[in-house]
Amino acid sequence: MKKLSKLFALALLIQSPLAAADNGWYAGLLGGLANQGDQDLLFTPGDVRRTASLASGILGGGTVGYQFGNGWRLEGEFVYQSVDMDSVNFGAGRPNGDGNYASTSIAVNALYEFNGFGSPDVRTYVGLGLVRLTEVDVDFEGAGGERSFSGSDSAVQALFGARYDLGEHSYLDAGLRYLSASDVDLKGEGTSGRIRADYQPWAITLAWGWRF
């Protein structure tokens, strides 16, 4: 959280003035490519630890927000994202195989726009979000069939990007985001045991939106 706050503060210090924008509501649909670095998975009972090699995946969702006209925006969002997982084997009788590591989440984001490109049609921005991971889910597809573990937790995220005006109401938004949640507790669904792991995906996103 401290690192994300420092990045946000630095961006505010180096920003250039932005002409005042109209107040108003907006909504958007977003999609993107998600990724996540390798994560340690701790299975209990037995305290068996394995490293999951995680790859790329997808992200999709939507946002509704309000533009205050002084550079600040406040928005809510719903996002689903999932990345692929290479084979993990905790040993006989425990989960094994490849699968995916996914989540659904809702968030409240505070974003600040500034003129990073010197164009009145492009507004760069930075933001921080408070996230509720309504479900984090890790699935294993092994010889013994599918085994799933899921849980919920809280997280924070950092957002960076730019918006380009297509017209009076519509816009395109290209962004980069990083989410961080530590020690998420995942309980077996119809199976015994628990898994504890960090959940730290990042994604490149593209969105289309409409200002009302």
pLDDT of residue 116: 76
**At residue 192, what are phi and psi to the nearest 5 degrees?**
-85, 160
Nearest to 158 by CA among 178, 175, 182, 174: 178
- CA angle, 181 then 182 then 186, to 5°: 90
Query: Quick one: pLDDT at residue 20?
Result: 47
Nearest 5°: phi and psi at 8? -65, -45
pLDDT at 86: 93
Q: What is the pLDDT of residue 109?
A: 98
Q: What is the pLDDT of residue 14?
A: 45
pLDDT value at position 37?
94
Q: What is the pLDDT of residue 18?
A: 52
- 142 CB burial (10 A radius; 0-12, 13-18, 19+): middle
d(CA 103, CA 199): 9
pLDDT in tens for each of the 212 residues of the chain?
Answer: 555 555 455 445 444 445 445 789 999 999 999 999 999 999 999 999 999 999 999 999 999 999 998 899 999 999 999 999 999 999 888 999 999 999 999 999 999 999 877 777 899 999 999 999 999 999 999 877 899 999 999 999 999 999 999 988 999 999 999 999 999 999 999 888 999 999 999 999 999 999 99
